[in-house]
Amino acid sequence: MAYWLMKSEPEEYSIDDLARERKTAWDGVRNYQARNFLKEMKKGDLALFYRSNAAPSAIVGEMEIIGEARPDPREPDWVIVDVGFVRKYPTPLSLDDIKRQKALDEMVLLHNSRLSVQPVSPAEWSEIQRLCSGRRVLSPENHAL
């Protein structure tokens, strides 16, 4: 099973939208590298929901790949995957928080900041679980949406 990170701007589609709908078709990816990662995803893979272009940008929750890549009916050169809501983290992890964690300093997020779909290593994943699951508040403003 693989781990991923996928970005969405809150005005486009938020973790709360996903929590309400329970699942959604993840579409609109128009970057070849990101598309290739979408094609690699397998049913049961888990993905971090990253809230981009926000104050603050942050990892806010978790989802599961429930449907593997299929052509976008509107633009068949591109693909869509289907994702299901898993949970919204009690403690979101802001970009600032991520930058401060030594264990996360090799995340693709920090080195290829414009890539909207990217792999996450098992070590990074478990570190993020540790940081996001507790009640400890890293940055109080994280809780604002």
Partner DNA sequence: GCCAACGTTGGC
Query: Does residue 139 interact with DNA by CB under 7 A?
Result: no
Q: Distances from the Cα of 48 to the Cαs of 45, 73, 122, in angstroms?
A: 10, 25, 12
Number of residues this chain uses to bind DNA (CB under 7 A): 19
Among 16, 27, 72, 96, binds DNA (CB under 7 A): 96
Least distance in Å: CB of 71 to DNA? 18
Distance, in Å, from the CA atom of 1 to the CA atom of 79, rounded to the nearest integer, reads 20
- Touching DNA, residues 4-33 (CB under 7 A): 7, 9, 30-33
Structure tokens at 76: 């068949």
Closest separation in Å from C-beta 109 to DNA: 7
Minimum Å gap between C-beta 41 and DNA is 17
SS3 48: strand
**Which pairing describes strands 3-8 and 117-120: parallel, antiparallel, or unpaired?**
antiparallel
State the maximum Cα–Cα separation within the chain, in Å, rounded to a whole number.
44
126 binds DNA (CB under 7 A): no
Which is closer to DNA, CB of 25 or CB of 44?
Answer: 25
Site string for DNA, 28-67 (x = CB under 7 A): --xxxx------------------xxxx-x----------
Listed in sequence order, the residues at least 6 apart from 137 whose beta carbon sits closer than 8 Å to its beta carbon are 91, 143
Distance CA 83, CA 108 (A): 21
- Residue numbers at the binding site for DNA (CB under 7 A): 7, 9, 30-33, 52-55, 57, 95-96, 109, 112-116
